[in-house]
Amino acid sequence: MTSRRNFLQQSALGLAGTFTLPLVGNAAPAKKEPAPVLTGIAGYTFAKFDLEKSIAMMKKVNVKYISVKDFHLPLNSNEEKIQSVLKQFADAGINVYAVGVIYMKSKEAVDEAFAYAKKVGVPLIVGVPNPELLDYTESVVKSSGIKLAIHNHGPEDKLYPGPKNVYDLIKDRDPRMGICIDIGHSIRAGEDPAEAIRLYKSRIFDLHIKDVSVAAKDGKAIEVGRGVIDFPALVKALHKIKYQGLCSVEFEKDMTDPLAGLAESIGYFRGVAKSIG
């Protein structure tokens, strides 16, 4: 297996992709390459930082996608505020691909979340609607056309500990209702994230990428590649299901000074993705 050091070397944070040479002579047709694994950042990573500093860190690690959290763009933002925040991201070459995580404990909260996503102009909400609200949430998904990825939060979470808890409740619902698998919380809840990806394939809309020290409730956040998650297996599972979404790193080990750990985590994950691809 390729070493951790090689993964980090191969990541070459500034590289956007690889190039394929044209066929010459009677060479056999090239094998179709899997879709690239796109790396983003889950906005919660920057809970301790203002928008300007968060954008600066994203530029340093060369990540161009974010699921924005409400501390950078509040749910009650007016049009002027929304356009101002979106412009700051756009000027830095960063795409806001989703909003969330958003918690929804009432019908009013569901309505607010979907109205907010519509105003921001994103096609995806990463959210946590209470299970008793899923019928109503499904009706709003249908009327709005906005997709919902329900986030699992580990064994402490009484609503959605692991991705299976989400899947069992949405598998027969509108296909725009899916899962944001938090892979760290998944393995802490007893579900191997690579297996979950293979099992729930078409319902996986987003991934939060992290690592944990042990595959148990008391597992702690750690730099990607230093913990227990099998990232080569994870990437192979993504290729197998032809995953088209984002893999957003969520670094929580030291949220007051995340840059070094965030850079290491992104570098390692990109190195794995490059070596598997």
CB 28 within 8 A of CB 234: no
pLDDT attached to residue 28: 46
- Is 10 inside a domain boundary? no
- Is 185 inside a domain boundary? yes
- Is 124 inside a domain boundary? yes
Strands (E), 73-197: 95-104, 124-129, 147-151, 177-182
Structural domain including 271 reads: 34-276
- Is 1 inside a domain boundary? no
- Is 5 inside a domain boundary? no
**What is d(CA 57, CA 6) in angstroms, rounded to the nearest whole number?**
24
Using DSSP bridges, classify how beta strands 147-151 and 38-42 pair: parallel, antiparallel or unpaired. Answer: unpaired
Domain count, the chain: 1
**What is d(CA 130, CA 107) in angstroms, rounded to the nearest whole number?**
10
Using DSSP bridges, classify how beta strands 221-222 and 211-212 pair: parallel, antiparallel or unpaired. Answer: antiparallel
- Is 209 inside a domain boundary? yes
pLDDT attached to residue 6: 52
The parts of the chain modelled with pLDDT lower than 50 are: 1-2, 7-8, 10-29
pLDDT attached to residue 27: 46
- Is 76 inside a domain boundary? yes
- This prediction has a pTM of 0.89
Give the model confidence (pLDDT) of 208-217 as tens digits. Answer: 999 999 999 9
- Is 8 inside a domain boundary? no
**In this structure, what CATH number is given to the domain that contains residue 101?**
3.20.20.150
Q: For the packed helices 107-120 and 134-144, what is the interaxial angle rounded to 10 degrees?
A: 30
